[in-house]
Structures are given as C-alpha cells and as structure tokens.
Amino acid sequence: MDNDSPTSGDAEIVGQVVAGDVHAFEHLLRKYQNHVLILLKKHLPYDHIEETAQDVFIRAYKSLPTFRGESSFKQWLSTIAVRACYDFWRKHYKSRELPMSSLTEKNQVWLEEAISAQASQSFHEQSLQKEAREILDWALDRLSAADRMVLELVYLEGYSLRETADLLGWSIANVKVRSFRSRKKLHKLLTQAIPR
C-alpha cells in the first residue's frame, strides 16, 4: 500500500461529481487509470484488462455517493479494483472446464533446476521469465478464486494480512487461514509437478 499525500483534491472532485458535474469524473479517471491498470495487469489475463478497467471505473462512479473519505480515494478505488478481479475469477472458474493438462516437459525441467541446489541469484537473473510466468499461471489456474486472490496479494505482492482483509472485505482470520492453505496448495502443486 502506498502512503498518499493528503487527497483533499480528490474529495473535492468527488463532491463535484456527486453534485452533478459528470465531466469532473474524467480528472479522477486520468489521475488513477495507471494505478488501476497496474493492479489489474497483475491479477487478470491480458485480454480482460481493458474490460475490467472500464468496469472498475463505472463501479466507482456509481458508488461515489458512498465515498466518505475515511480512506484515500486511491485506496478506496484499489478495493473496488481488487474485488472486481475476485469477481472476474469467480465467474471464470464457474464457467471453465477443469484444467487437466500438466506442465510441459520444458517447464518441468526449468522448475526442477530452479528449486534445485544449483539455483542461485544468477539463475534468477538469467533464466527466462516466460517459463516462470507459464508455471505460475498453470499453478494459479488450479486454485480456487479465493485462494488465488489471497495468494497473489499476500504471497506474491507482499500485502499485510490486514491490508488484504481490507481489500477483499474479509476478516483477518479468514485471510490468515486461507493464505496458509493456499501457499501449501501451491507448493504441493509445484513440487508434485516435478518428476523425481
């Protein structure tokens, strides 16, 4: 999470929009479009980013009257964006067929090398990130929507349990338990994928 400078300007713009100045919303859109995009790029497949970004700002616009300024506008918008990602995965997982394909031989070899004794800093720097991304996507696709979101936020992005709980609207205890379980599942998935 970032520590924003006081965003009284945002609160003023929100006030203008709620008072009926629809065009003032464009200031908020321009100011925070990159922040929302960066967030969505990490959580969603490439071809769904633009559509979800639109959805996030439309949801934010509709919810503006409920914005009380208790947190910064950026934080409030992040919450909407993260919940939009969670909704996306929930819908996606409901409609998808169970993925049965295993890792390719190339990916298996890469993964084995990555976690073997030979793994070192140089390996991280030199190795192709494409393989790592493929393996990560493969593993995440085998988790539930909730496990996926918690794992991404806590394990991969480094958010605290409280921040994650705020973003997802869950209790801290729920995030803690789910974070532990999803990490175990991920580790199990990846270690089982390597032929030993």
Partner 1 sequence: MNSPKTEHEVLQAILRKAYQEKENVEVGDQWQQEVMRRVRELGTLQPTPTFPEMLEQLVWRLAPVTCLLIFGLTVLFAVSDFTSGYEVFQLFMNGTEELTFALFAGL
Q: Which residues bind partner 1 (CB under 8 A)?
A: 17-18, 20, 22, 25-26, 29-30, 33, 37-38, 41-42, 46, 49-51, 53-54, 57-58, 61-62, 64-66, 114-117, 119, 124, 127, 129, 132-133, 135-136, 152, 155-158, 187, 190-191
Q: What is the DSSP string of 77-112?
A: HHHHHHHHHHHHHHHHHHHSPPP-----HHHHHHHH
CB 75 within 8 A of CB 11: no
**In this complex, which beta carbon is closest to partner 1, that of residue 25 or of residue 93?**
25
**Distance (Å, rounded) from C-alpha 161 to C-alpha 167?**
10
Nearest distance from C-beta of residue 76 to partner 1, angstroms: 15
**Distance (Å, rounded) from C-alpha 110 to C-alpha 105?**
9
CA dihedral sign, ordered 184, 95, 133, 150: negative
**In this complex, which beta carbon is closest to partner 1, that of residue 6 or of residue 195?**
195
Nearest distance from C-beta of residue 104 to partner 1, angstroms: 16
Nearest distance from C-beta of residue 72 to partner 1, angstroms: 20
**In this complex, which beta carbon is closest to partner 1, that of residue 113 or of residue 171?**
113
CB 103 within 8 A of CB 137: no
**In this complex, which beta carbon is closest to partner 1, that of residue 4 or of residue 157?**
157
Nearest distance from C-beta of residue 136 to partner 1, angstroms: 5
**In this complex, which beta carbon is closest to partner 1, that of residue 156 or of residue 173?**
156
Nearest distance from C-beta of residue 161 to partner 1, angstroms: 17
**In this complex, which beta carbon is closest to partner 1, that of residue 46 or of residue 94?**
46
**Distance (Å, rounded) from C-alpha 95 to C-alpha 77?**
27
Nearest distance from C-beta of residue 47 to partner 1, angstroms: 10
Residue 166 neighbours by CB under 8 Å, 6+ apart: 79
Give the Å distances, CA to CA, from 47 to 44, 56, 136, 163, 175: 8, 16, 18, 28, 28
Torsion of the alpha carbons at 95, 81, 155 and 115, rounded to the nearest 10: 60
